[in-house]
Structure 1
Amino acid sequence: MEHDNALPPFSSPRSVKISKMQHLDATPVVIVGGGINGISTFRELALQGIPVIMVEQGDWCQAASGALSRMIHGGLRYLETGEFSLVKESVQERDRLLKNAPHYVAPLRTTVPIDSWSGGLLNAGKRFLRLSEQPSRRGAIIIKTGLSMYDLYTRQYGSMPRHRLNNQRETQQRWPNFADWATCSATYYDAWISAPERLGVELILDAELANPQALALNYIKLIASDGESLTLEDTLGGERFTLRPHVVVNATGAWIDRLNSTLLQNPSSKKLIGGTKGSHLIVRHPQLFKALNGEMVYYENQEGRVCIMFPWYDNVLVGSTDIRIDNPDDVVCEADEQRYILQSLKFIFPDFEVSDRDVLYTFSGVRPLPASDSKISGKISRNHSLVLLPPEAGRDFTTLCLVGGKWTTFRKFGEQAADKVMNLIGEKRKISTTEMAIGGGKDYPSPERKAAWIQLICNEFGLTTERVGQLLSRYGTRAADIAASISRDPDCPLEHYPDYSRNELRYLIHREQVQTLEDLLVRRTPMAISGKLTLARVEEIATLLGSELGWNVDDTAQHLATTLSRLASLHGLTGLYPLPVSEGVSHVSNE
C-alpha cells in the first residue's frame, strides 16, 4: 500500500493560495459561503475541471452546517405536508451517503412512542390539504400510514429494514422508562452522522486534489462589489484583492438576503430567506444513555412538536427548537430553549431527573429556510431551490442563490447548482458524483475485512492495532495517510488528552486549513462536543497550535482567551473559564 507523505494541494500555504487568487483577476465562478451546500457545489464544479474559487468568512461548516441534529434522514414528517418528492430525494441521498461515507454515516434504529391509535386523524387531513398548520399529536394509524409510505421509498432505493409496529406489551418490555401515555410504539431505520464538519472538509480535500484550478479558502470575507469585481479580504492577514467573476454563487445560507442587498448590488431583489433557529443539548446522564441502548427516540412533546434524542459518543444528544429569527449572527441556545428541551425530555422519560447541571454542551444554528408566511415554523418547506439573478444595470455578473435545503440532500443540491452554473458558462458535466466515495469512505473495509485492513497498516507503519483502529474510526481510510505521516517522526500522546497524539494534530493543522484553536477543537475533532474538554487540555492544544502556526506567546494567549470566551458564550462551556454570565445566554458548567 503506497502513501504520499508530501502535503496534498489542499494544504498549500495560505499565502500561496492568496497569491494565486491575486493573480487571477478574472475567474468563471466564485462561491461565497463555505457551508455544506456551497462546499457541495464547489466539489461538483471542481470535479468537472471548472476553475472555481470558494471563500468563507469563517471556517468551513461553522454555522448552520455544523449545528444540525446529526441525523441523515429521509424526512418522515414531510409526508404529512405532501412533500413526497423531497422524501424520495432524501431517502435516495441518505442511502448514497451510507455507501459513499460509511466512515461517518451509519444506520440508526429509531423508535416512535405513540399515545393512541386514532389520534390526530382529522388534523392530519387538514394539514395535508393545507387547511391547518397547527401541530397535534399523531396516533398509530397516522404513523403506520406514514411509515408504510416511507418503506416504499426505502425498499426502492436502499436496504433498510421495514418498520415494525409494537404493541403495549412489547413497548413496555423494550422501553420500561417511557411515560405511561406511550401505549404502543413504532420502530424504523434512518441514519446519523458522527462528524458532519469533517465530511465537509473531506469534500474540499477531494475537490482540490482533483483540480488544481479549484481553490478554497476560509477566513476570506467579501467586503465590497462595484458591480464588476468583488473585493475580498483575508481576515487573518489583512490582505485585499479583487476578482472579476462571470457567476457568483451566493451560498451564504441565512445571510443570503444580507449579501444580496449590501454587496451584490441587488437592493431590489425580494426576500429569499425566512430562517428559523434550532438549538440542541448534549447531556451527560448514564441512566438515559443506557436506556436508549444505541437507538434514537423520535417523539412528540406536549405541543405535538417533534423532538429527538439519541446516544452521542458517551452522552445523549437532545433537540431541538424551531424559532423564527431575523439576525443569524452568533446565535446561542437561550435559557428558555434549554428549559423547553429538558421539559420535552421529561415528557417521554418522566422518571429521569435531567437538569441544567447535566448539560455539557449546547449548539445552535439558523436553518436557511425559504421566506414564508406560515405561522408555524415547523411547516415551512425544507426543500431547496435555485434563484437566478441575471446581470442588471450596475452588476455585470450573474448571481445564483442557494435557498433552503436539508443537510442530507447536499449532494443533489450541489449537483443541481453546478449544472445551472455550467449551463451559464457553456460547460457540460463530465463526471457524476452519485456513486463517488467521499474522503475516508474510499475503499472503506467491510466488517469482515476491517481487522485485516488494520493489521496491514500496523505492519507497514509500526503502530498498534488499537491505534490504527482509533484512526480508522476517526478518519476512515485516510487513516492510512495519517499513519504514514505521524510515523515519520517521533510521536507521543498529548499529556492532558492522551487519546490524541501531537503528530496527529499536526497532520490536521497543516493539511486541513486549521487557522484557529476553535477550528481544531470544534470542527476538525469532536473534542468540544464530546464534553471532554478541560482547561489543561485546551491550553496544551493551544500551545501546540501556536507552535505550528508561528504564533508568539502573546498571540497564543489571545487565541486561547478568544476560544475560551466563544466556547462559553456559544456552547455553554463556562466550566473552562470564569467568564461573567451574559444576560439571556444559558451558561452551564461542564464539571
Structure 2
Amino acid sequence: MMNRRETMDGLRRSPKVDVCVLGGGINGLSVFRELALQGVNVLLVEKDDYCSGASAALSRMVHGGLRYLENGEFSLVQESLVERDRLLRNAPHYVAPLPTTVPIFDVFSGLANGIVRFLGLTRRPSRRGAIAIKTGLGIYDFLTRKRALMPKHQFRGRKATLDKWPALNPAIRNSATYYDAWVSHPERIGIELLGDGLSAGANAKALNYATVEQMGAGEFLLRDRVSGETLAIQPRLVINATGGWIDIANGALFPQEARPAPLMGGTKGSHLIIDSAGLRDMLDGHMIYYENEDGRICILFPYLGKVLVGSTDIRVDDPGTVRCEADERDYILQSLAFVLPGIKIRPEEIVFQFAGVRPLPASKDSFTGRIPRDHFCTVLEGSNGAPPVLCMIGGKWTTFRSFGEMAADMALERLGVTRRVDTAERAIGGGRVFPKDGKGWVRALAASTGISADRTALLFARYGTDAEDVARFIAAAPDHPLPHAGYSVRELIHLIRSEAVEHLDDLLTRRTTLAITGELSLAMAEAVLDVLAAEKGWPAQRVPEERGRFLTLMGERHGVTEQSLSARNEQRSELCETTARSG
C-alpha cells in the first residue's frame, strides 16, 4: 500500500480526481474497489480507521435476512442470498456455513404480520409461530434451489429438540434448522478490499484518519488528521458512503443554505462476547436464532472460541457516541435467560461488548424492526461549480459487493467510463487460489519458511493464502516473542507496514481479533504499543498518550477496564505455564 506521505504528495502534484469516496466502511471500500478496478482515478477518505464504525459492529452474520420476508422485502432477501453464496466462494478463509436453529413456541402466531405490512399498517410483531417460520424457510429454500450450496431446512418436534439442546426453554414446541453463514474477520475483509483496489495502480489512493470539507468553486479541503497537513482536491464526483454519518458528512460537503434534508435514520445494535465454555459447548456449533418475549429477534452463536450474543435495535441521533449501555446489556442477558433459563452468566464472563449503527433510510415507522433494510443511491446535484454527491443509503454487510457495484455503475455512467472488470466471482484477499487441502498447503509453507506447522496453521486461519506473504516476512529476519504466544513481533510489524496502522486500537481491535476474543492482556497491549512506537518513530511522550487513548476507548466503548486487562496478565501466565508443562 502507498504510504501517507506518498499519497499526500501525489495529490498535491495532481489534485484533480474523478471520484472522491467518503467513508472507509465496508460499503465505501466496496465502491472504491469497484471503481479502482475499472481504472477510475479514485480517492477514498475515512475520518477514522477503516471499518471502525458500523462495519466493525455487525452481528458477524452473512445471511439472507429471513425476517425481512415479513416486511415483504423479497428482492433484498434474494440478493442477500446470492451475495452470501458468493462470499462463501470468494472469501472461504473468513466466511463459512453456519447451521442456524430457531426455537418455536407457538403454531399460528405471526401470520398477520405480513398482511398488516402489505396494507401499509404498522404494529409491533407478535411471536412468530411454526407455520410462519415454516413458510419463510420454504421461501428461503426456493430462492437458493438452483445453487444448493447448503442443506434444506428441517423441522424437529419438542422431544428431538430438547434431546439435542436440553438447556433450551422447556416451553418450546418445535425447532427449525436451516443454514446461513458467518464471518470470522469482517474488518480484515475490508482491508483486503482496500488492498485489491490499491493494487489497480497509481489511479487509486486512500487515506484513513482524514476529512474532507467544501471550500467553494468545486474545491474541497482534504485534512490529514495524522500530520495536520491540508491540501485542496477537485473531484468530478463525490460518493458519500459514510453510512450513519451521511447527513453529518453532507453538512460538510454543502454550504449551509444548500444542505439537503436528512436521508438517514439509523438504529443501534449492541452485542456481548461471553467467555463460557459451557454455553459454547451447549450450542453444538449452531446459532440459536430466537425471539425474546417482546418479539425482538436475538442471536447466539459460537465465535472464535467464545459466544456472541445480541442484539438491540434502538433509534440514535449521533452515531459517534454509540456504545452498549447497561440497560442494553441487561436486556441481552435477560433474553439469554429466557431462551436458556438454566444458563447463568457472571459479569467477568463478558469479555467484550460493542455497538454500531445500522445505516437505515429515514423513516417515521414507530417500530424500528419495520424500517426497510434495502439499499439505494440518491444523487444530490451540486451548485456553483460543485460536483454532484452520490449518497449510498441503507445497506447490510452481506450485500456490500452488490451495493458497491450499484453505486460504481451509477458513477461510471456519469463519468462516461465503461466497466471492464466484474467482481461477482472475483476472490477476495486470502481467498485467492484457496487450497482444497488446507493442511497440505500449511505443511508446504511451513517447510519452505522454517516456521512451525502450528504457527503456520494459525497464520492460514488468520489470513488465508495471504499467510504466505506474512510467513515469508516473519522468516526474513530474527523474530521475537510477545506476551501472547499466538503472535510475534515480526507479524505485527508486517501489519503496521502494510495495512495503514496509525493507532494501537487499529492493531488490537481490527487488524487482529485479540480484543474481541478477550485474549488481550495489559502486558500484550503494552508490548504491542512498544512495537508500534518503534515502527512509527514516535517521540517518548507519545507512548503514554497512546496508551491512555487506547485504555479509554476500551473502557468506554467495549466495557474492558485496565483492571480487567491486568487480571488477564495472570490468567495468560497461568495458561502458558500449563501449556509448557503439558508440552
User: Shorter-chain-normalised TM-score: which range?
Assistant: over 0.9
Q: Which residues in structure 2 correspond to 1:121-520 (within 5 Å)?
A: 121-265=111-255, 267-392=258-383, 394-446=384-436, 449-494=437-482, 496-520=483-507
Q: Using the alignment, how far apart are the partners of 2:305 and 2:405 within structure 1?
A: 36
**Given the alignment of the two structures, is residue 70 of structure 1 paired with residue 70 of structure 2, yes or no?**
no
The Cα of 1:561 is off from its aligned counterpart by 1.0
Does 243-252 or 223-232 show the bigger shift? 223-232
Contact 2:299–2:309 (CA under 8 A) maintained in structure 1: yes
Per the alignment, residue 69 of structure 2 pairs with 79
The Cα of 1:132 is off from its aligned counterpart by 3.2
Per the alignment, residue 557 of structure 2 pairs with 570
Q: Using the alignment, how far apart are the partners of 1:463 and 1:501 within structure 2?
A: 12
The Cα of 1:590 is off from its aligned counterpart by 12
Q: Using the alignment, how far apart are the partners of 2:216 and 2:569 within structure 1?
A: 48
Q: Deviations over 1:39-71 (max 9, x none)?
A: 000000001111100010100000001100000
The Cα of 1:227 is off from its aligned counterpart by 4.5
Per the alignment, residue 574 of structure 2 pairs with none
Q: 1:115 aligns with which of 105, 112, 118?
A: 105
Q: Deviations over 1:414-454 (max 9, x none)?
A: 001000001111101001000000000001111xx212211
For residue 342 of structure 2, give the secondary structure of its aligned residue in structure 1: coil
Supply the AA of the counterpart residue of 1:514.
V
Aligned Cα root-mean-square deviation (Å): 1.7
Q: Using the alignment, how far apart are the partners of 2:141 and 2:456 within structure 1?
A: 38
Contact 2:106–2:127 (CA under 8 A) maintained in structure 1: no
For residue 299 of structure 1, give the secondary structure of its aligned residue in structure 2: strand
Supply the AA of the counterpart residue of 1:265.
P
Supply the AA of the counterpart residue of 1:472.
F
**Given the alignment of the two structures, is residue 54 of structure 1 paired with residue 44 of structure 2, yes or no?**
yes
Supply the AA of the counterpart residue of 2:427.
A
Per the alignment, residue 104 of structure 1 pairs with 94
Does 333-342 or 23-32 show the bigger shift? 23-32
Does 262-271 or 252-261 show the bigger shift? 262-271
Q: Using the alignment, how far apart are the partners of 1:327 and 1:459 within structure 2?
A: 52
The Cα of 1:576 is off from its aligned counterpart by 4.2
Per the alignment, residue 522 of structure 2 pairs with 535
Q: Deviations over 1:227-260 (max 9, x none)?
A: 4111011111100011011000011111111121
Supply the AA of the counterpart residue of 1:559.
E
Q: Using the alignment, how far apart are the partners of 1:227 and 1:525 within structure 2?
A: 43
Contact 2:64–2:180 (CA under 8 A) maintained in structure 1: yes
Q: Using the alignment, how far apart are the partners of 1:418 and 1:368 within structure 2?
A: 19
For residue 210 of structure 1, give the secondary structure of its aligned residue in structure 2: coil
Q: Using the alignment, how far apart are the partners of 2:178 and 2:146 within structure 1?
A: 16
Pair 1:395–1:280, CA change in 2 (3 A): farther
Contact 2:291–2:298 (CA under 8 A) maintained in structure 1: yes
Contact 2:214–2:255 (CA under 8 A) maintained in structure 1: no
Does 215-224 or 520-529 show the bigger shift? 215-224
Q: Using the alignment, how far apart are the partners of 2:89 and 2:392 within structure 1?
A: 26
Contact 2:479–2:489 (CA under 8 A) maintained in structure 1: yes
Q: Using the alignment, how far apart are the partners of 2:184 and 2:521 within structure 1?
A: 22
Q: Using the alignment, how far apart are the partners of 1:21 and 1:527 within structure 2?
A: 35
Count of aligned pairs between the two proteins: 569
For residue 203 of structure 1, give the secondary structure of its aligned residue in structure 2: helix
The Cα of 1:128 is off from its aligned counterpart by 4.4
Q: 1:32 aligns with which of 10, 22, 41?
A: 22
Q: Using the alignment, how far apart are the partners of 2:15 and 2:41 within structure 1?
A: 13
Supply the AA of the counterpart residue of 2:318.
N
Does 505-514 or 262-271 show the bigger shift? 262-271
Supply the AA of the counterpart residue of 1:371.
A
For residue 126 of structure 1, give the secondary structure of its aligned residue in structure 2: helix
Q: Using the alignment, how far apart are the partners of 1:485 and 1:262 within structure 2?
A: 42
Does 45-54 or 216-225 show the bigger shift? 216-225
Contact 2:213–2:252 (CA under 8 A) maintained in structure 1: no
Pair 1:540–1:326, CA change in 2 (3 A): same
Per the alignment, residue 511 of structure 2 pairs with 524
Q: Using the alignment, how far apart are the partners of 1:395 and 1:277 within structure 2?
A: 37
Contact 1:482–1:504 (CA under 8 A) maintained in structure 2: yes
For residue 299 of structure 2, give the secondary structure of its aligned residue in structure 1: strand
The Cα of 1:540 is off from its aligned counterpart by 0.7
Q: Using the alignment, how far apart are the partners of 1:570 and 1:114 within structure 2?
A: 34
Contact 2:122–2:366 (CA under 8 A) maintained in structure 1: no
The Cα of 1:119 is off from its aligned counterpart by 2.0
The Cα of 1:531 is off from its aligned counterpart by 0.5
The Cα of 1:133 is off from its aligned counterpart by 2.7
Contact 2:51–2:190 (CA under 8 A) maintained in structure 1: yes
Contact 1:369–1:381 (CA under 8 A) maintained in structure 2: yes
Q: Deviations over 1:473-496 (max 9, x none)?
A: 0000001111111111011321x1
Per the alignment, residue 577 of structure 2 pairs with none
Contact 1:111–1:188 (CA under 8 A) maintained in structure 2: yes
Q: Deviations over 1:259-283 (max 9, x none)?
A: 2133323734121000101110001
Q: Using the alignment, how far apart are the partners of 2:164 and 2:564 within structure 1?
A: 41
For residue 80 of structure 1, give the secondary structure of its aligned residue in structure 2: helix
Q: Using the alignment, how far apart are the partners of 1:483 and 1:374 within structure 2?
A: 52
Runs ≥4 in structure 1, deviation > 6 angstroms?
588-591
TM value normalised by structure 2: 0.95
Q: Using the alignment, how far apart are the partners of 1:316 and 1:308 within structure 2?
A: 10
Pair 1:158–1:14, CA change in 2 (3 A): farther
Contact 1:227–1:264 (CA under 8 A) maintained in structure 2: no
For residue 473 of structure 1, give the secondary structure of its aligned residue in structure 2: helix
Supply the AA of the counterpart residue of 1:254.
G
The Cα of 1:349 is off from its aligned counterpart by 0.4
Q: Give structure 2 stretches of 5+ with no counterpart.
A: 572-583
The Cα of 1:157 is off from its aligned counterpart by 3.7
Contact 1:573–1:589 (CA under 8 A) maintained in structure 2: no
TM value normalised by structure 1: 0.94
Q: Using the alignment, how far apart are the partners of 1:463 and 1:385 within structure 2?
A: 47
Per the alignment, residue 582 of structure 1 pairs with none
